[in-house]
Chain A
């Protein structure tokens, strides 16, 4: 349990098993660097291809005989310009941002309180509530989207981004709650006892002691929720009908893919722009991502 918190530090300080000490440099090159290089090449190539396509003029895009497809000779911003000024792309970005922030806030509040109650207020049956929330994480959206569509219609929320804000917590809350339970566990209970003895109320303890100490956990849960909401597809596809209210992943696929001739330049530019916010976010908080990913798995 404690290793969930210790993970980010352990990752870099602890020495890997020193099994290669007797190996020659060449063998090391063949056994480690070559395969690693291949992995990185294959894992990154689609992004390179996406990026380079979005800046290629159509003439180069459709002519491999005269232009080397791996490079651009005359880069253009035409696709991005088309996207930003001739489609509703800015609007889609804005909707996606709104939905992601709304769902993240809602899930963080709900799961912080739930994790605190389960881990710190300790009541009869709290492990079962925790287990119940964990099981909720195992229910995939693919099973839920059809009945949820009827629920959303019943609530009069069809075609409204609010529906997504309310529905996304179904997969965010279980994840965040489990992550935060792990973090709360790592905070010494004695601190709270001291505060209780000093006459603080439970809510004061949560606000003044537990939450400030759990900030890394809250950041992990927050950025993770933001990424998951940004990337969500099936609910956004099923619940949103009008072009203006769509989120970026859905809009690119349903609004930009028109006819038989695909505008690959615009499609790839849209994918690139849609990936950038999470990629930037990710680059700022890499360690939190890694710790929350591994922490949640190990809980």
Chain B
């Protein structure tokens, strides 16, 4: 008697809520929670990645389904001076820009790590180049690099009288290449500086106190405390920076579009020119795929950076 009276309200309460119970069933809930993210990434990231590799082995053009052609695209690329030009400029661009960004960014982070008034305001201002759309600041650089009305030329010629003629920033290959690298460094400094500043602030001041008591010079303190303590975060930030500098597109496309005379093509802009603008999807995909070995190298670099951090902290995992 008492049992039936007890169970019936419970049943009445639970029966309509089967949906609630289903959502409280852990495996179902896990599947539901992961579905949107995994679904989006599978359809718009994993599938295109695979498709891209497949396209690289076909002769697909826009509007025409291609057939498998084996390594033809890659063989063609290997004999294409433009591709070699893009590879070497990509490597030079990444190398010099990364070095510049990290040297200047590390310096800026060390400067910001001091005490001075309006520090947080300054930190906010410094991130600005990184927040503003790259293409729009690239346009500003294009205008700064104008052959006739460049403000830099004006400064050097009319104000300081260091030179007698305007600098032709974008008209010939090497000046154009270095102008782009300068713009890339300008854009990359804030990210590097702010990330490294965060790392600097985690270094315990007691380490420096101990070193100062032992009579270490400021260079020694930097070399034996700051630098080793910053290694893990440097490795991660550098990996990100290398990956996104090597595959950069916006800056070059906005300022030179690969010119003059195709001398400033990066692999990404060359892939766009061949694949989308030229309609040779297969060949464009092959150029994009040829970036992958470099990226894998950078990712491994990151992995060992992380592994090293865990090893240093003596943690199995976190």
Query: A residues engaging B (CB < 8 A)?
Result: 1, 3, 7, 10-12, 14-20, 32-33, 35-36, 39-40, 42-44, 46-47, 49-50, 53, 61-62, 64, 69-70, 106, 109-111, 113-114, 116-118, 121, 123, 127, 129, 133, 135-136, 138-151, 166-167, 169-170, 173-174, 177, 201-203, 227, 230-231, 233-234, 237-238, 248-250, 252-253, 264, 267-268, 270-271, 274-275, 278-279, 282-283, 286, 289-290, 293-294, 297-298
CB distance from A85 to the nearest CB of B (A): 21
CB of B33 within 8 A of CB of A114, answer yes
User: Can you spell out 30 A-B residue pairs with CB atoms less than 8 angstroms apart?
Assistant: A14-B201, A15-B205, A17-B208, A32-B114, A43-B186, A46-B140, A49-B151, A50-B137, A64-B158, A106-B40, A114-B33, A114-B37, A138-B295, A144-B52, A144-B288, A146-B55, A146-B271, A146-B275, A170-B45, A234-B272, A237-B253, A253-B254, A264-B149, A275-B132, A278-B132, A279-B131, A282-B128, A290-B198, A293-B191, A293-B195
Q: Given A46-B140, A238-B276, A298-B233, check contact A169 B133 (CB 8 Å).
A: no
Which DSSP category, helix, strand, loop or mixed, fits chain A's interface?
helix
CB of B41 within 8 A of CB of A170, answer yes
Q: Given A16-B115, A202-B23, check contact A268 B143 (CB 8 Å).
A: yes
Which listed residue (B23, B36, B249, B272) contacts A109, Cβ 8 A?
B36
Which listed residue (B44, B144, B243) contacts A138, Cβ 8 A?
B243
CB distance from A53 to the nearest CB of B (A): 7
Return the 10 tightest CB-CB contacts between A and B, nearest first.
A294-B198, A117-B33, A114-B37, A147-B52, A142-B268, A110-B36, A142-B247, A271-B136, A140-B247, A147-B48
Which listed residue (A46, A202, A264) contacts B29, Cβ 8 A?
A202
Q: Given A19-B221, A170-B41, check contact A46 B129 (CB 8 Å).
A: yes
Which listed residue (A109, A139, A274) contacts B133, Cβ 8 A?
A274
Query: B residues engaging A (CB < 8 A)?
Result: 20, 23-24, 26-27, 29-30, 32-34, 36-38, 40-41, 43-49, 51-52, 55, 60, 104, 107-108, 111-116, 119-120, 122-129, 131-137, 139-141, 143-144, 146, 149, 151, 154, 158, 186, 189-191, 194-195, 197-199, 201-203, 205, 208-209, 212, 218, 221, 233, 236-237, 240, 243-244, 247-250, 253-254, 267-268, 271-272, 275-276, 281, 284-285, 288-289, 291-292, 295, 299, 302, 317-318
Which listed residue (B104, B131, B134) contacts A289, Cβ 8 A?
B131
CB distance from B301 to the nearest CB of A (A): 11
Residues of B within 8 A of A146 (CB): 52, 55, 271, 275-276, 281, 284-285, 288
CB of A46 within 8 A of CB of B137, answer yes
CB distance from A297 to the nearest CB of B (A): 5
Complex formed: what's the CA distance from A140 to B250 in Å? Answer: 13
Complex formed: what's the CA distance from A297 to B314 in Å? Answer: 20
